Amino acid sequence: MEEGSLVEYGARRVIITITAVTCALLQIVDTTIVNIALPTMQGGLGASLSEITWVITAYAIANVVVMPMTSWLSQQFGRRNYFAGSIIIFTVCSLLCGNATTITELIVFRFLQGIGGGALLVTAQTIITESYPVEKRAMAQTIYVLGVIVGPTLGPPLGGYIVDNYSWPFIFYINIPIGIVATMLTIQYIKSPRYGEKVSSRHVDWLGIGLLTVAVGLLQFILEKGQEEDWFSSSLISISAAISFFGFFFFIWRELVYKYPVVELRVLRNVNLSVGSILSFVLGFGLFGSTFIIPLYTQTIMGWTAFQAGMLMIPSTVFTAIMMPFVGKMMERGVSFRLMITSGMVIFFIYSLMAYKVLTPDTGGDAFFWILVIRGVGLGLLSVPVTTMALSTLHGPQISQGAALSGMLRQLGGSFGVALITTYLTRDVQFHRVDLISNISLYNPAVQQRMELLSKNFQSKGMAWDAAQKAALQLEDNIVNVQATVLSYMDIFLWIGVMFLVCVPCVLMLVKKAKNKVQSPEVIHE
């Protein structure tokens, strides 16, 4: 092994890989596991609906703020120290979250937990990448991405099981033993590269940090709370959007002119990184969006429990995992990024189109199996190539900088996906309801006949004529609502599929030819 190399071999590399993937998985699972427990937490803490949603929002804001600064923070503190410190913060705050007795305490501790968690995903990717020799880095990315894909799917069923069988604090307590072991393994096995001199305190880009925190934090707030506040009809959302816009504008200007930027934006001159980051956004949109919408559909339309809804996603995860080794081998053999990414985009479009066509108020769980299998295959072909392509032509410290930016955009893509789906669903349901009601007239003989049959059915159960008429009207209204909701879900699936299909020509035109590997950084370790 070369002097100063970060490449590891044998058992040491296995331990480092397991540690990094586990930490990444912890971070992602904690973004979705809490969703299932919100009603229970709300009742236990006596919180309102708007208050309890901040448990999710606070964590997401902290995540997105920390992610782009991860490379700089690793350089300042040393990667091993920063990674271990982040795990400790995440673990301690998990304990504090579980012991919270008020909603204010829980929100504060979730924000601090998000600060620790924000570093885990990006740093884990960099650690895994640099622990493998160049020719094996496609497989390294495969291992990492598997954890990223499994996380959002694992959260809901795990959270449902814990809430059903234990109590909500245990969704946080399960992090503690894992965090303790991961901290010890990190200190023992992970090396700290040094790409250059640390920035002195007087040169720290405090203005850049402040602008980034305000801009990204408010953007995440807008995405999380926009629908609740009716978007730009709310002065709070409008003011937040304006501040966020100017925050981003001045942040970009600051980072491009300052000698010691906290986020090195110049790395985006690399075409593969720029395109890969955009595709990471689209991938996050599709991954988190579909992980959100399918359980929501099965619970609201089909009446499933949260645990049942979460388990439905397992086939997709299994087939994504099955695809990973094949994708890794394909990349090692030189199959082009263009081919794999475009194939994945087209397959994801097919999945969305099939979901669009199969949805009815009477659709059973069996109908989703093959659809979700296709989803898993599409994600398998997309995830690793997109991640590897983004980093494939970067060198040295650019690797961690690129990983931070693409990771942040994947997280923002997920946030945009959930926010836009929620908004579109709310408004599209009303559109379809109005359209359906316009076709229902009591003067229509078919409608009259149906209402008469419904009324007689209720009368046969002992209802008076007036009560039976009202019950029949209510039932008809419920049927309309269900139909309108199903049509809205169909529209969402179709639009997600179209978004992926539109990306295909962009990939073909913009993705430059590159070796299917991440370059070896020239670093020394401490």
- As beta bridge partners, residue 524 has 194
Q: State pLDDT tens for residues 17-51.
A: 888 888 888 887 877 777 777 777 877 788 776 67
pLDDT value of position 1: 44
pLDDT value of position 92: 94
Most confident of 52-66, 173-187, 378-392, 403-417: 173-187
CA separation for the pair 23, 82 (Å, rounded):
13
Q: Max CA-CA distance within the chain?
A: 90
pLDDT of 198 above 80:
no
Q: Residues with Cβ < 8 Å from 497, sequence gap 6 or more?
A: 348, 349, 350, 351, 352, 353, 356
pLDDT of 84 above 80:
yes
Assigned token pair, 460: 């046969």
Poorest-pLDDT segment among 32-36, 101-105, 185-189: 32-36
Share of the chain above pLDDT 70, in %: 81
Q: What separation in angstroms does the CA of 131 have from each of 11, 115, 125, 156, 365? A: 12, 25, 10, 32, 42
pLDDT band at 519 (very low <50, low <70, confident <90, very high): very low
Supply the pTM of this predicted model: 0.73
pLDDT of 411 above 70:
yes
* Mean per-residue pLDDT of the chain: 78
pLDDT of 459 above 80:
no
pLDDT value of position 299: 72
